[in-house]
Amino acid sequence: EAGVAQSPRYKIIEKRQSVAFWCNPISGHATLYWYQQILGQGPKLLIQFQNNGVVDDSQLPKDRFSAERLKGVDSTLKIQPAKLEDSAVYLCASSLAGGGVDTQYFGPGTRLTVL
Amino acid sequence: DQQVKQNSPSLSVQEGRISILNCDYTNSMFDYFLWYKKYPAEGPTFLISISSIKDKNEDGRFTVFLNKSAKHLSLHIVPSQPGDSAVYFCAASASNDYKLSFGAGTTVTVRA
């Protein structure tokens, strides 16, 4: 079974530029998560989708971050414009249903460096 | 605020010995706890979990202990193997929203 796919794996941009990340979850997984992991910290949930609807985006900086999950399968996370403090690894995860104690499966992440 | 804390950023242990990783939490609503393992350039992978109705869960070489009164859990790895060298994240969730809160991680190095 294929795991969670993410691209690109690495991205370097200058501040004020825009960037987009792509995630393809495990087939059949209804719930998709985007996390931000800053160096030395644990992953922090940015947004959670159930199919193509948003369940929780309370920690998403909506003035610059946006995410969508068209057709309830793959998803994109965009940052526009990027700031220096956005340098982090962006992890995508998926789970079968999203309710209860559902195991989340993580992709390899995209390492973003903002100069 | 950080609701899940892993106060030891690193741990070095000799191959064959026991590794003990600790985790503390502050939110009394947390009732489900997980450990994830992460290798460099890979995403975290689920290792083991425990519900608040239990105080111990064992899976092969890995055992998680939960002390609800102290709001503390620990992960024991016995015996430690070189392939266990990784970053270990403690995570917790509450049954009212199931959102995972992660600790900052502990880097384990198993010496030959």
Are A101 and B49 within 8 A, CB to CB?
yes
Give one DSSP letter per residue of B52-111, joined into a string: TT-SEEEETTEEEEEETTTTEEEEEESS--GGG-EEEEEEEEETTT---EE---EEEEEE
| Chain A touched by B89 (CB under 8 Å) | yes
Dihedral sign from CA coordinates of B44, A113, A29, A26:
negative
Confidence category of residue B96, pLDDT binned at 50, 70, 90: confident
What tens digit of pLDDT does each residue of A83-110 get? 999 999 999 999 987 666 778 999 999 9
| Chain B touched by A46 (CB under 8 Å) | no
Query: What is the bridge-based pairing of β-strands A65-68 and B19-25?
Result: unpaired
Residue A67 scores a pLDDT above 90: yes
The mean pLDDT value for B105-111 works out to 97
d(CA A61, CA B85): 34
Nearest residue to A83 (alpha-carbon basis) of A44, A115, A46, A47: A115
| Pair B98, B39: CB distance under 8 Å | no
Minimum Cα–Cα distance from A58: chain B residue: B99
- A with B: how many residue pairs have Cβ under 8 Å apart? 51
d(CA B20, CA B39): 18
The pLDDT score that the predictor gives to residue A111 is 97
d(CA A73, CA A32): 9
Residue B15 scores a pLDDT above 90: yes
What tens digit of pLDDT does each residue of B40-81 get? 989 999 999 999 999 999 999 999 999 999 999 999 999 999
d(CA B109, CA B19): 10
In chain B, what residues touch A39 (CB-CB under 8 Å)? none
| Chain B touched by A108 (CB under 8 Å) | yes
The mean pLDDT value for B12-20 works out to 97
Residue A9 scores a pLDDT above 90: yes
The residue type of B82 is: P
The residue type of B65 is: F
